[in-house]
Amino acid sequence: MGRIEFAIAFLSILIAVVAPGPSHAQTWTAAERSILRSLWIGSLPQLPKDSSNQVADNTEAAKLGQKLFFDMRFSGNKKIACSSCHKPEKGFADGLPLAQGMGAVPRHTPTIIGTAYSPWFFWDGRKDSQWSQALGPMESPVEHGGTRTEFAKILYSNQAYRKSYEAIFDELRDTTDESRFPNIAAPIDDPQSRAAWDAMKEGDRQIVSRIYSNIGKAIAAYERLIIPGPSRFDQYVEAVLNGDQATQKELFTDDEIGGLRLFIGKGNCIECHNGPLFTNNDFHNTGLTPRTDAPGNSGRAAGVKSVQADEFNCLGPFSDAEDADCGELKFAKLSGAELIGSFKTPTLRNLGKTAPYMHEGQLSTLSAVVDFYNRAPKAKIGRSELKPLRLTETELFRLKRFLMTLDGPLMVPQALMSPPR
């Protein structure tokens, strides 16, 4: 072997040893492994206690809630249930840009998966518990379009409902007397429903609102059980934490690894999409252009005011919580420029099933999403927190490939995925 050939062979070996080839891409530093662990589903804690709902972990309540969740009778036209928009087969969302109930809903349907871990509900956080959230759409004229007196009457007239309600809560009060309990009455914007509600005696209103809040608590007991299962990403992290290189290679392509590096690195995604549910459950302005000039565009700025005034909030008369359990509500930020035009960070788990994206379904594909974050356009309302990422097309592709690894099965028994028998 001549000197030159020897030098070439020597350098080739050297390059093979130190060059960042595909096998090298599998290496994560201790700090990176710690970040991966924080995103791993194994880091998801036990379901947090919902002190505001004393039946949150009651299996009978969950069964009742499941029935209610799928029951279309609890709507103005008897055609809408919670499951109309939160379809189990579509990741408990609906696949539409904007939800469609009895009318056109100005928001994209968020998934229910893992929401038991969130302190805030709706895109603008105008509710502070799963049970209180469940009550919102039921009286919204464009969603279920019903009223609480109707709902109380449906429960009372149905033997099975009445029996299970009384087994879980207490006596279901008789609301059949129309002179005391009009068929349609609720403290909502609709003038007729409102007038009928205002004409009722305070004690009767309390009876109805108590039943209504219990409907929400039963639905929440069911919704709490809808939690995500391990995705391919979680299996990969397990392999990383176990130092199992072979399994890592089987599970993730170089593009997916590259995407994960961007996700926790210069893509800045992890700033808000953190923790095992890939969300900090907080509110951020990302500069999305609203579809209309609706007043709801102020996002959290309006949402936090609504939740403070809500009779069904943690501190309200229908909550089972002690004052000390209501930290999120008591210490909620009420003002500040960053609340304007800010909306809740959604989970990224199962996002392959929950397109389109964003609070008004503005972005129809994952490609559009990563492109949007890359450009970070100026906000039309408030100020965007984003900075342009300036990623290359290849990097955007890798990021997208990584995001697709977050799809996984739900940790939900099949029996909970459809109406109970």
Partner 1 sequence: MAQLGLFIIGAFAALFLVLAPPPAAAQMKMEGGHGAAHNQRGKPASAHGAHQADTRPTKIPEHLDVARTKFSEQAKFSVNVTSRLDPVTINKMHSWVLNLKNPDGKPVRDAKLDISGGMPMHGHGLSTAPRVTKNLGDGKYLIEGVRFNMAGWWELKIVIDSGHHKDNVTFNLILK
On the CB side of 374, CA atoms within 13 Å amount to: 17
Q: How far apart are CA 209 and CA 82, in angstroms?
A: 19
Residues in contact with partner 1, counted by CB under 8 A, come to a total of 44
Instruction: Tell me the per-residue interface mask from 190 to 219 with partner 1, x by CB under 8 A, - otherwise.
Output: ------------------------------
The yes or no reply on residue 72 touching partner 1 (CB under 8 A) is no
According to DSSP, residue 416 is labeled G
Q: How far apart are CA 227 and CA 114, in angstroms?
A: 5
What are the φ and ψ backbone dihedral angles of 202, each rounded to 5 degrees?
A: -55, -40
Among 60, 190, 320, 338, binds partner 1 (CB under 8 A): 338
Among 142, 305, 328, 420, binds partner 1 (CB under 8 A): 328
Q: How far apart are CA 412 and CA 228, in angstroms?
A: 8
Q: What's the closest the beta carbon of residue 418 comes to partner 1, in angstroms?
A: 33
The yes or no reply on residue 48 touching partner 1 (CB under 8 A) is no
Which CB, 14 or 160, lies closer to partner 1? 14
Q: What's the closest the beta carbon of residue 332 comes to partner 1, in angstroms?
A: 7
The yes or no reply on residue 399 touching partner 1 (CB under 8 A) is no
Among 160, 333, 365, 418, binds partner 1 (CB under 8 A): 333
Q: What's the closest the beta carbon of residue 283 comes to partner 1, in angstroms?
A: 8
Long-range contacts of 317-324 (CB under 8 A, 24+ apart): 317/206, 318/209, 318/210, 318/213, 319/52, 319/129, 320/51, 320/52, 320/53, 320/54, 321/51, 321/52, 322/51
The yes or no reply on residue 3 touching partner 1 (CB under 8 A) is yes
Among 178, 266, 375, 409, binds partner 1 (CB under 8 A): 375
Q: What's the closest the beta carbon of residue 61 comes to partner 1, in angstroms?
A: 26
Among 68, 172, 332, 406, binds partner 1 (CB under 8 A): 332
The yes or no reply on residue 331 touching partner 1 (CB under 8 A) is yes
- Stretch binding partner 1 (CB under 8 A), from 102-110, 202-210, 228-236, 328-336: 328-336
- Stretch binding partner 1 (CB under 8 A), from 61-69, 165-173, 281-289, 402-410: 281-289
| Closest alpha carbon to 291 in 344, 355, 364 | 364
Provide the Cα torsion 301, 75, 352, 123; round to 10°: 0
Among 80, 112, 218, 391, binds partner 1 (CB under 8 A): 391
What are the φ and ψ backbone dihedral angles of 98, each rounded to 5 degrees?
A: -125, 145
Q: What stretch of H or E contains 343?
A: strand 343-344
- Which of positions 298-327 make contact with partner 1 (CB under 8 A)? 327
The yes or no reply on residue 255 touching partner 1 (CB under 8 A) is no
DSSP three-state, residue 315? coil
DSSP string for residues in 66-125: HHHHH-TTSSSSS---HHHHSBGGGTTB-SSSS-BSSSB-SSPPPP-TTGGG-S-BTTTT
Which CB, 199 or 334, lies closer to partner 1? 334
Residues at the contact surface with partner 1, assessed by CB under 8 A:
3, 7, 10-11, 14-15, 18-20, 31, 34, 270-272, 274-275, 280-283, 287, 327-328, 330-334, 336, 338, 375-379, 383-385, 387-388, 390-393
